[in-house]
Amino acid sequence: MSEIALPKVDRTVVSKKDLIVNNLKQFTDKKNVLSELDEIRPYETDALAAYKNLPLAVVLPENTQEVSEILKFCHRENIKVIPRGAGTGLSGGALPLNDAILLGLGKFNKILDIDFDNKCVVTQPGVTNLSITHAVKHKGYYYAPDPSSQLACSIGGNVAENSGGVHSLKYGTTTNNILGVEMVMMDGTICRIGGKTLDQEGYDLLGLICGSEGLLGVITEVTVKILKNPQTVKAALIGFPTIEDGGNCVTDIISNGITPAGMEIMDKALIDATEKFVHAGYPMDAEVLMIVELDGTKSEVEELFKQIKQIAEKNKSNSFKLSKNEKERLGFWSGRKAAFPACGAMAPDYYCMDGTIPRGKLSEILKEISRLSKKYNLGVANGFHAGDGNLHPLILFDGSNKEELRRTEEFGAEILKACVRMGGALSGEHGIGIEKRELMCEAFNDNDIQQQINIKMSLDEKNLLNPGKVYPILRKCAEEGRVHVHRGEEKFPDLPRF
């Protein structure tokens, strides 16, 4: 896991490090260019901490013009650039390269315009997801996507990874909640896409950029939609004796035309871990625990919970607890939200996976994960955004044991392959990054990947912006000698082909 094939290091660039660093100091304040080992060390990894690599230098520009000048320079000099937001990404999308400049957007940390008339906020990309909600909550508004890292993750990173969260079942992911961006292309061109209007005429460039994992442009400003808080929000904890019963209940709720604001599922291992950790009051006799949250008018929420209770009973639920007040509702969520640290307390390391399956395959995938857990002899705890089929198995392992690391990686890959086999996707919200790069061939064939690469090459013809991410280096298609060659030019000629 700690070793991964990366694009070939350009020794010429590395040998010119001092010259490059001096040049960068022309475009921004000298203090914003970091090149000493102790200064750049904190940037060697993102939240996928098993992978580490030092950049050539780190530059922290302060405005769009500076970003443009830096990119123009790097483009001219053939220097790779890795954009980075808050570094909370879980797929290694911001992993540096030894011959690349790491472009940190941490100084883009201001909210520029709170526009209640148009129900939007214009913000710099380094602002955290949660601070947008904090900036508008005094008037009863909020920003809907709520990834679990919302306290720390930046909105620019959310755009890059199309982040979701527990409420995306009803309110969508980042792509459904942004109106516009300003971005800088690799050649330094500054481009504004969208603004305060709904939809864009012409090609949906906003849709293309969102979830593009920093490969197409550097986001320097984001306009997000804000929503009014719902009148009533309530949650219920529902316990089930078996995985099948919990899974069927999820499908039945959706089939009955109910769209909860959030619908989560936790397995026995995660219930035990989180209950020990935060004492959320979860039913300890349940094999599967569901948290359902509804919002709307008081009568609507009450009526729908009546229906959900009936559906749950039909699916043999063995407990049903409805939140009586806001404190209790937040208590219900406290366990789910503490899933990561709770797993951290159970084993020296955990590896958080992210895949998607059709809702109806929930019990099937849980059974498969359980089978794989035995096969690899590794513990696993499962938390699901069940409403939209997004699963986050947490594999428990000891990182100091190399052999266990290898097994963990294989276990994770097998889970994701199973997701694809069941009609799902390799990633629901964490992105591909470097972590799942080699698995792309499981979901896509050579034509599909080549079309994506063609888009990348059309906007970054030298492949300098965040290279080595998303698309397989050890591409199966490449191994089989089916690499598409366009007009005699091989794409990504600098990438090793095995």
Partner 1 sequence: MFTEEKKNSQIFQDSNHLSPTSELEVSELIKEAYKKKFPIDIHGSNSKKFIGYNVQAAKSLDFSSLSGVIEYLPEELYIKVKPGTLIKDIENILEKNNQELSFEPTDFGYLKEGKSNKGTAGGCVSCNFAGSRRFKVGSVRDFILGFRGVNGKGDIIKSGGTVVKNVTGYDLSKLVSGSFGTLVALTEVTLKISAKKPSQNTIIIYEKDPKIISDLFNMVLSSSNEISGAVFVPDEPKSKKFTPNKSKAFKLNDLDQEGAFFAFRIEGDQNSIKERIKDISNEMNLKKYKTSNLDIYQSDLFWKSINSLQLFSETKNNLLRAVVPPSKSEKMMSFLNNKYRYFIDWSGALFWIEVPGDQNIKEVKNTIIQNNGYVTIIKKSEDFEFTEKLFTIDDTKLMISKKIKESFDPRGLFNPGKMYKDF
In the region spanning residues 229 to 258, those forming contacts with partner 1, defined by CB under 8 A, are 229-231, 251, 254-258
List binders of partner 1 among 441-480 (CB under 8 A). 443-444, 447-452, 454-455, 457-459, 470-471
CA-wise closest residue to 380 among 412, 356, 410, 355: 412
Q: How far apart are CA 270 and CA 118, in angstroms?
A: 42
Decide if residue 220 touches partner 1 (CB under 8 A). Answer: no
- Between 295 and 404, CB nearer to partner 1: 295
Rounded to a whole number of angstroms, the minimum distance from the CB of residue 463 to partner 1 is: 14
Q: How far apart are CA 2 and CA 93, in angstroms?
A: 15
List binders of partner 1 among 274-303 (CB under 8 A). 296-300, 303
List binders of partner 1 among 87-146 (CB under 8 A). 115-119, 140
- Kindly determine how many residues on this chain lie close enough to bind partner 1 according to the rule CB under 8 A: 93
Phi first, then psi, for residue 222 (nearest 5°) are -135, 135
- Between 7 and 211, CB nearer to partner 1: 211
- Give SS3 for 453: helix
Among 126-134, 226-234, 280-288, 474-482, the segment contacting partner 1 (CB under 8 A): 226-234
Rounded to a whole number of angstroms, the minimum distance from the CB of residue 282 to partner 1 is: 25
Rounded to a whole number of angstroms, the minimum distance from the CB of residue 453 to partner 1 is: 9
Rounded to a whole number of angstroms, the minimum distance from the CB of residue 461 to partner 1 is: 9
The residue type of 439 is L
Among 14-22, 105-113, 222-230, 401-409, the segment contacting partner 1 (CB under 8 A): 222-230
Rounded to a whole number of angstroms, the minimum distance from the CB of residue 87 to partner 1 is: 18
Decide if residue 390 touches partner 1 (CB under 8 A). Answer: yes
Among 4-12, 124-132, 399-407, 435-443, the segment contacting partner 1 (CB under 8 A): 435-443
CA-wise closest residue to 412 among 366, 351, 365: 351
- Between 344 and 358, CB nearer to partner 1: 358
- Give SS3 for 178: strand
Rounded to a whole number of angstroms, the minimum distance from the CB of residue 252 to partner 1 is: 8
Rounded to a whole number of angstroms, the minimum distance from the CB of residue 223 to partner 1 is: 10
Q: How far apart are CA 414 and CA 189, in angstroms?
A: 41
Rounded to a whole number of angstroms, the minimum distance from the CB of residue 90 to partner 1 is: 11
Neighbours of 298 (CB within 10 A): 10
- Between 55 and 85, CB nearer to partner 1: 85
List binders of partner 1 among 362-381 (CB under 8 A). none
- Between 140 and 496, CB nearer to partner 1: 140
268 close to 275: Cβ distance less than 8 angstroms: no
Tell me the two tokens of residue 226: 């804000």
Q: Report how far Cα 224 is from the mean position of its chain's Cα atoms.
A: 18
Please identify which residue in 423, 479, 480, 496 interacts with partner 1, judged by CB under 8 A.
Answer: 423
- Between 106 and 360, CB nearer to partner 1: 360
Rounded to a whole number of angstroms, the minimum distance from the CB of residue 415 to partner 1 is: 15
Cα distance between the two ends of the chain: 19
List binders of partner 1 among 315-344 (CB under 8 A). none
Tell me the two tokens of residue 147: 């990834």
β-pairing, 100-104 with 80-84? parallel
- Between 357 and 434, CB nearer to partner 1: 357
List binders of partner 1 among 166-195 (CB under 8 A). 168-169, 172-173, 175-176, 185, 189-193, 195
- Between 60 and 311, CB nearer to partner 1: 311
Decide if residue 203 touches partner 1 (CB under 8 A). Answer: yes
Tell me the two tokens of residue 150: 């919302």
Residue 112 Cα distances to 127, 183, 198, angstroms: 10, 16, 20
Q: Please, which residues have CB within 8 angstroms of residue 441's CB and are 6 or more apart in sequence?
A: 449, 472, 475, 476, 477
Decide if residue 197 touches partner 1 (CB under 8 A). Answer: yes
- Between 448 and 479, CB nearer to partner 1: 448
Rounded to a whole number of angstroms, the minimum distance from the CB of residue 270 to partner 1 is: 19
Q: Please, which residues have CB within 8 angstroms of residue 431's CB and are 6 or more apart in sequence?
A: 89, 90, 91, 93, 160, 161, 162, 211, 213, 470
Burial classification of residue 162, based on how many CB atoms lie within 10 Å of its CB (0-12 exposed, 13-18 middle, 19 or more buried)? buried
- Between 1 and 205, CB nearer to partner 1: 205
- Between 123 and 450, CB nearer to partner 1: 450
- Give SS3 for 272: helix
60 close to 107: Cβ distance less than 8 angstroms: yes
Could you tell me where the DSSP H helices lie in 41-80? 64-76
Decide if residue 388 touches partner 1 (CB under 8 A). Answer: yes
Residue 212 Cα distances to 87, 156, 157, 199, angstroms: 16, 11, 10, 19
- Between 347 and 432, CB nearer to partner 1: 432
